[in-house]
Amino acid sequence: MVVGGSGGGQASGGPGDVGGHSPRPHSYENSQRSRQAAATRERIVTAATDIVHDLPNWDWRSLTIRAVAQRAGVNESTVYRHFATERNLRDTVLRRLETEAGVELEHLRLDNFGQTIAQTFTYLATFPIDRPTLDDPTFAALDQRRRDALRAALTQAAADWTDSEREMAAAALDAYWSVSTFERMITTWNLDPDEATRAATWVIGLITTAVREGHSPRRPDTDS
């Protein structure tokens, strides 16, 4: 038996010792190219995310391949090399935003839905929000009368609440007294008008009961 590499054994690193070979140059080059590609992709996603953070009211119409390429400092062809379509890019950006917000839809449960909403709203508050005005004076006047009516109803039902608490409750009720909510229930959730009405009045009933029982939307750390 030969010990140590003397005698008839082959020396380490010889022709028969595959494991002793140093990495081939092209393997290193491939690894370097992979790192560069990953860095470029990350720069593109970061640029797209930065653009979204600048867009008011979650309006993504300006999130184009050209705009992202300009922000990232690369050619449009480079963006397309990493994202075949604008949809692919937007999907990736949306997943990045979900990660930033700490939202994990796969783990959503009814018990943690309130916390999910809190995290989402806190994150959305970091985006610019324009306050669009109603151009039609008729609808603007109607909206003002409706908000005044809700404030008056809350003042009567919860006179001992602070103005801020009553305003939050009125805003919650107003969310279910809007055309957009009604339309979303029908077009997105495929409810019929009667089902949409019952769903909205059910939530409004829960809010009304909370008001009557004195459960205001105060900060959690002030609850007694």
CA distance 43 to 33: 15
- Buried/exposed code over 109-130 (b: 16+ C-beta within 10 A; e: otherwise): eeeeeeebeeeeeeeeeeeeee
pTM: 0.72
212 contact partners, CB below 8 Å, separation of at least 6: 157
Report the first-to-last Cα separation within the chain, whole angstroms: 84
The CA distances from residue 103 to 80, 107, 156, in Å, are 28, 9, 38
The answer to whether 51 and 62 have CB atoms below 8 angstroms apart is yes
Place of tokens 């690369």: 74
Give the orientation angle of helix 193-212 with respect to helix 179-187, to 10 degrees. 130
The answer to whether 56 and 50 have CB atoms below 8 angstroms apart is no
The answer to whether 160 and 211 have CB atoms below 8 angstroms apart is no
Q: What pLDDT, in 10s, does the model give residues 123-173?
A: 998 888 877 776 788 988 999 999 999 999 999 999 999 999 999 999 999
pLDDT given at position 2: 40
Q: What pLDDT, in 10s, does the model give residues 169-200?
A: 999 999 999 999 999 999 999 999 999 999 99
pLDDT given at position 63: 94
- Buried/exposed code over 74-92 (b: 16+ C-beta within 10 A; e: otherwise): beeebbeebbeebeebbeb
pLDDT given at position 16: 46
Q: What pLDDT, in 10s, does the model give residues 38-88?
A: 999 999 999 999 999 998 878 899 999 999 999 999 999 999 999 999 999
Alpha helix (H) ranges present in the chain?
25-54, 65-72, 76-82, 86-101, 113-124, 137-157, 163-175, 179-187, 193-212
Query: Distance from CA of residue 125 to its chain's centroid?
Result: 11
- 214: three-class secondary structure by DSSP: coil
The answer to whether 166 and 155 have CB atoms below 8 angstroms apart is yes
Centre a 10 Å sphere on the Cβ of residue 25 and count the other Cβ atoms it contains: 8
